[in-house]
Amino acid sequence: MAPSDPHSLSDPAQGTISHIKLRLEPDFARRLVRVQGEYTLDRPVRGSLFLDARDLDIAGIEAGGMAVRWSLDREDPLLGQRLHLSDLQDVRCFTIDLKTSPGAAALQWIGPEQTAGGKHPFLYSQCQACSARTLFPCQDTPGVRFTYEAELVAPAPLMTVMAAECVGQAPQGDHTTYRFRMPQPIPSYLFAFAVGNLTFQAVGPRTGIYAEPEIVHQAAWEFAENEDKLRAAEALFGPYLWDRYDLLIMPPAFPYGGMENPRLTFLNSVYVQGDRGATWLIAHELAHAWTGNLVTNATWEDFWLNEGPTTYAETRIIEAVEGVETAELEIAGRAQSLLREIKRLGPGSPMTCLKLSLAGKDPEESYSLVAYFKGMLFFRALEQAAGRARFDGFLHDYIAAFRFRSIDSEQFLGFLEERLPDAARVAGARRWIYEPGLPRGAADVASSLMDDVLSVSEEYRHGRLPSDDRVSGWTHMQQGIFLETLLPRIQVADCAYFEKLFRLQGTRNGGLFSTFCELAVRSGYREVLPAYEAFFASVGRYMFHEPVFRALSGEAWSRPLARPLFERWRHRHHAHTVGAIERILAQAGL
């Protein structure tokens, strides 16, 4: 049985949901979804069943045609409400009728003006980490898995997609009902759907793109190599068990770069950037099909078990499809970002441990790059200690042993110490997991492409601006890492120089632009603000905006501008991005 989850009010020991049959009818005018759910439990339950719920308007619950007694009997500002089904008499199936609320955290209702086509609205769900409970009552913990089938109704001409297999569609008058099934058991945070003006284009036998017609061709070019990445990932981790790997191109307001919804990664359209430069992001979301979606973190305290191995796998996939030099540049760049992140959090901070202690805390507030990049370096240290061939064997066995299960750090460590006891000891596995900061030397990564970046950075520090020729062969990744080495600030006049050198005005590379904005704000380069505002008005990926808002609220010249800028566009952003920026502004006393 899964360990108890500080972010769920349910009690899986009472019995677990094994299957849900859902009907979902979005009402775009009222911004709510009508939901009917038929639940099946893994065993007959007598007495009470606790489920997570939040902001739900429940009309009724029935079992075998009889009303079930229920109440919302516990409320918690962090966790929502506990839905208590009581006096159950060996119940295995029950139905719930409800409406979601316009403020449901899992839903973002996007107006036509924020889409590529500009004519139709777009609706999608994002459940990670704890928002599935705002769609339907469930055991909203990654420790419980269920299969599902669903009917999703869309008004014409919109199309619906789910992170599931589409098994039919039936047009009826002014709407169409799409039917889906998800035969592989998933945790609630991987439940996902979207409704919009979408079309499909295949890029390979198991890979394709759902996107608005205005951008589907561009996206198909950008991600034409997804099938190769899928094959590289299978070589690393074993067979792909989710049948298809498609992308859904999201409006830019999506608060992440990507979200690993099974069979259908949700990918921010800002990464349709015209340079095929988002290989790492696809590699990342794809790798989650194994680390995260097959082997799942038991609770959000073990979040690193999702993100660390995934980030490691990302670098291995890049190595396979783009070569070892590109992979090592990425690793070196990330090690550099991690050092900055640890410095920001404080080297002794518990937030720099892989295993987190989150009771009473919102997991959103504890997210940092640590789970990703420290987790990646940990796996690299294990690979180095074990040797690549043995470590690859371990990875295969690890996935095979725990697939479709949720595990915590202790189970991981137990398996590691059993299979690779020497590597666990040499790498210092327990230290990596339970102690803050980084082992000495852990961030030293040899990379010739990085060395080139560092030498130009060093020359600049000695007063030499790089010539166009010197950096003309650089990739966007090198440019971005270079700009990071200049943080926190440079001479304001040099900002304009680098802006021209790397052609940052009007760049389609959001990651590069965000790093430049952080540097520019810190350096007092006010001219960057209009372009940043335009970027903030459309692009929602919160990781792009957090560093810039930290800079805006930290520098005297920009401090008074930070809150008004945010207020002008907050209505366009997802609750997650709004929350992240609110925290930064509040911390700065704004």
Q: Which does 208 bind (CB under 5 to 8 A by kind): Zn ion, ligand BES, none?
A: none
Q: Which does 502 bind (CB under 5 to 8 A by kind): Zn ion, ligand BES, none?
A: none
The total of other beta-carbon atoms located within 10 Å of residue 87's CB is: 11
498-506 contacts, C-beta under 8 A, 24 or more apart: 499/528, 501/466, 501/468, 501/471, 502/471, 505/531
Shortest distance, position 257 Cβ to ligand BES, whole Å = 3
Reduced to 3 states, what is the DSSP secondary structure of residue 169? strand
Q: Which is nearer to ligand BES, 96 or 287 (CB)?
A: 287
Shortest distance, position 558 Cβ to ligand BES, whole Å = 25
Question: Which DSSP symbol is given to 548?
Answer: H
| Max CA distance (Å), the chain | 80
285 is catalytic: yes
Site for Zn ion in 284-323 (CB under 5 A): 307
d(CA 303, CA 505): 37
d(CA 200, CA 9): 39
Shortest distance, position 207 Cβ to ligand BES, whole Å = 18
Q: Which is nearer to ligand BES, 364 or 494 (CB)?
A: 364
With 0-12 / 13-18 / 19 or more C-beta atoms within 10 angstroms meaning exposed / middle / buried, residue 170 is: exposed
The DSSP annotation for 183-226 comes to EEEEEGGG--EEEES-EEEESSSSEEEEE-TTTHHHHHHHTTTH
Shortest distance, position 259 Cβ to ligand BES, whole Å = 5
Q: Which does 160 bind (CB under 5 to 8 A by kind): ligand BES, Zn ion, none?
A: none
Shortest distance, position 498 Cβ to ligand BES, whole Å = 24
Q: Which is nearer to ligand BES, 146 or 544 (CB)?
A: 544
d(CA 130, CA 361): 12
Q: Which residue is nearest to ligand BES (CB)?
A: 257
Q: Which is nearer to ligand BES, 307 or 518 (CB)?
A: 307
Q: Which of 148, 178, 189, 372 is catalytic?
A: 372
Taking 3-state DSSP, the helix, strand and coil percentages for the chain, each rounded to the nearest 5, stand at 45, 25, 30
Q: Which is nearer to Zn ion, 307 or 546 (CB)?
A: 307
Q: Which residue is nearest to Zn ion (CB)?
A: 307
Shortest distance, position 144 Cβ to Zn ion, whole Å = 21
Q: Which does 128 bind (CB under 5 to 8 A by kind): ligand BES, Zn ion, none?
A: ligand BES
DSSP β-ladder status, 199-202 and 207-211: antiparallel
Q: Which does 573 bind (CB under 5 to 8 A by kind): ligand BES, Zn ion, none?
A: none
Based on its alpha-carbon atoms, the radius of gyration of the chain, rounded to whole angstroms, reads 24
CA dihedral 326, 331, 337, 339 (to 10 degrees): -150
Q: Which is nearer to ligand BES, 246 or 307 (CB)?
A: 307
Shortest distance, position 143 Cβ to Zn ion, whole Å = 19
- Chain positions contacting ligand BES, by CB under 6 A: 128-129, 256-260, 284-285, 288, 307, 367, 372, 543
Q: Which is nearer to ligand BES, 260 or 499 (CB)?
A: 260
Q: Judged by CB under 5 A, how many residues of this single chain contact Zn ion?
A: 1
Question: Which DSSP symbol is given to 327?
Answer: H
Q: Which of 151, 222, 285, 499 is catalytic?
A: 285
Number of H helices, E strands in the chain: 20, 20
Site for Zn ion in 173-212 (CB under 5 A): none
**For residue 423, what are its two tokens?**
């590597």
Q: Which does 45 bind (CB under 5 to 8 A by kind): Zn ion, ligand BES, none?
A: none
Q: Which is nearer to ligand BES, 132 or 399 (CB)?
A: 132
Shortest distance, position 284 Cβ to ligand BES, whole Å = 4
- The CA-atom distances, in angstroms, between 133 and each of 36, 141, 365, 394, 454 are 14, 10, 19, 36, 47
The DSSP annotation for 277-296 comes to TTHHHHHHHHHTTTBTTTEE
Q: Which is nearer to ligand BES, 365 or 527 (CB)?
A: 365
Shortest distance, position 367 Cβ to ligand BES, whole Å = 6
**For residue 87, what are its two tokens?**
């006096």
Shortest distance, position 377 Cβ to ligand BES, whole Å = 14
354: which residues sit within 8 A by CB, 6+ positions away? 304, 308, 370, 371, 374, 375, 378, 409, 432, 433, 434
The DSSP annotation for 442-504 comes to TT----HHHHHHHHHHHHHHTT-PPPHHHHTT--HHHHHHHHHHT-S---HHHHHHHHHHTT-
d(CA 308, CA 369): 10
Q: Which is nearer to Zn ion, 96 or 186 (CB)?
A: 186
153-158 contacts, C-beta under 8 A, 24 or more apart: 153/23, 153/24, 153/25, 153/26, 153/177, 153/178, 154/26, 154/178, 154/195, 155/28, 157/120, 157/197, 158/120, 158/121, 158/195, 158/196, 158/197, 158/198
Residue ranges in contact with Zn ion by CB under 5 A = 307
Q: Report, as residue numbers or ranges, the catalytic residues.
A: 285, 372
